[in-house]
């Protein structure tokens, strides 16, 4: 049956040997979050009337996000690159959550600053954004657009974001965290390495970020000082964070490769 063989061929290109490992790690992470912070999970489940029309009380937005991210993170998984994405996502997520909660730009209903249970969401989202970005790149590779267009769009989009950021975080200009975050964003914006990939990453991060922020703010899991559900800055900040994580990954990889080459040179010199 040629139809079934085509499906198997398509799945074999998407589902790699590392996909099972990554999906297993994803489910283990979710299990540990639920197990360790069971009182929070129990509180969420208490809103569902299991003896009645439970489907009316089910959080379908959360389930949709969960399903989408589960599918995207396993697509063409490669542990050689994904481990770095996860590492950067954890470190970056912790830094961002610390900045936001310590400066009261946003706060969680548990009053933790920051809550550790939210940190794993960052590397998972980073993996999903990586897949979305590469999908966008694959489409554009088949339908090439002149690079100058991406250059113009890059400066328009990121200049607009920076302006929005300065307005949004202005109440916390007396905090060192905010100054560090602002300076980092300015440096990243002014030193682009790949206009097209940066723009695609920003779009992918903002797109996924919208649904994450919509869920979190409308469920009052977290809330911003503006009480918007969600504020535009928060949505676009996911795009900026995705770009920052991507650039941090490139830098980490470059440092690692240099260190590895130096180690090889030392070994060769000692052998000779």
In the numeric block, which tokens belong to residue 243?
């770009």
CA–CA gap between residue 2 and residue 112 (Å, rounded): 55
CA–CA gap between residue 170 and residue 164 (Å, rounded): 10
Does residue 199 contact residue 157 with C-beta atoms inside 8 Å? yes
Residues 259, 263, 269, 272, CA torsion sign? negative
Can you give the pTM of this predicted structure?
0.88
Does residue 127 contact residue 89 with C-beta atoms inside 8 Å? yes
Q: What's the confidence (pLDDT) of residue 272?
A: 61
Does residue 74 contact residue 130 with C-beta atoms inside 8 Å? no
Nearest to 24 by CA among 77, 61, 65: 77
**Count of other CB atoms within 10 angstroms of residue 233:** 20
Q: What's the confidence (pLDDT) of residue 206?
A: 98
Q: What angle do CA 33, 243, 197 make, to 5 degrees?
A: 125
CA–CA gap between residue 75 and residue 16 (Å, rounded): 8
Per run of 10 residues, the mean pLDDT along the chain (length 272 residues) is: 56 76 85 80 76 82 92 89 94 96 94 92 95 94 87 96 97 95 96 93 97 94 95 97 96 85 76 63
75 three-state secondary structure: strand
Question: Which residues make Cβ contacts (< 8 Å) with residue 154, sequence separation at least 6?
Answer: 192, 195, 198, 199
Does residue 73 contact residue 23 with C-beta atoms inside 8 Å? yes
**Count of other CB atoms within 10 angstroms of residue 204:** 25
Question: Which residues make Cβ contacts (< 8 Å) with residue 211, sequence separation at least 6?
Answer: 61, 64, 65
Q: Long-range contact list for 212-217, CB < 8 A, 24+ apart?
A: 212/65, 212/121, 212/125, 212/238, 213/238, 214/61, 215/59, 215/61, 215/62, 215/65
């Amino acid at each position: 049956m040629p139809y079934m063989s085509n499906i198997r061929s398509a799945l074999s290109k998407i589902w790699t040997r590392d996909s099972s490992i990554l999906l297993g790690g994803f489910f283990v992470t979710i299990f540990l979050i639920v197990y360790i912070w069971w009182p929070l999970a129990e509180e969420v489940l208490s809103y569902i009337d299991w003896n009645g029309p439970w489907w009316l009380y089910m959080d379908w937005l959360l389930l949709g996000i969960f399903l989408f991210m589960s599918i995207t993170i396993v697509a063409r998984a490669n542990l050689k690159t994904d481990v770095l994405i996860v590492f950067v996502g954890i470190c970056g997520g912790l830094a961002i959550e610390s900045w936001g909660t310590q400066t009261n730009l946003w706060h969680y209903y548990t009053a933790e600053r920051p809550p550790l249970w939210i940190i794993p969401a960052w590397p998972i989202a980073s993996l999903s954004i990586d897949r979305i970005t590469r999908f966008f790149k694959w489409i554009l590779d088949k339908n090439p657009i002149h690079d100058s267009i991406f250059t113009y769009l890059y400066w328009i989009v990121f200049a607009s974001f920076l302006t929005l950021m300065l307005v949004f975080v202005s109440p916390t200009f007396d905090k060192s965290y905010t100054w560090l975050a602002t300076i980092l964003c300015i440096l990243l914006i002014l030193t682009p390495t790949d206009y097209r990939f940066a723009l695609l990453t920003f779009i992918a991060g903002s797109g996924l970020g919208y649904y994450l922020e919509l869920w979190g703010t409308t469920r009052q899991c977290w809330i911003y000082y503006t009480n918007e559900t969600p504020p535009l800055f928060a949505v676009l900040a996911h795009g900026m964070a995705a770009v920052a994580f991507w650039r941090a990954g490139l830098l980490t990889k470059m440092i690692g490769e240099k260190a590895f080459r130096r180690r090889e040179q030392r070994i060769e010199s000692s052998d000779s």
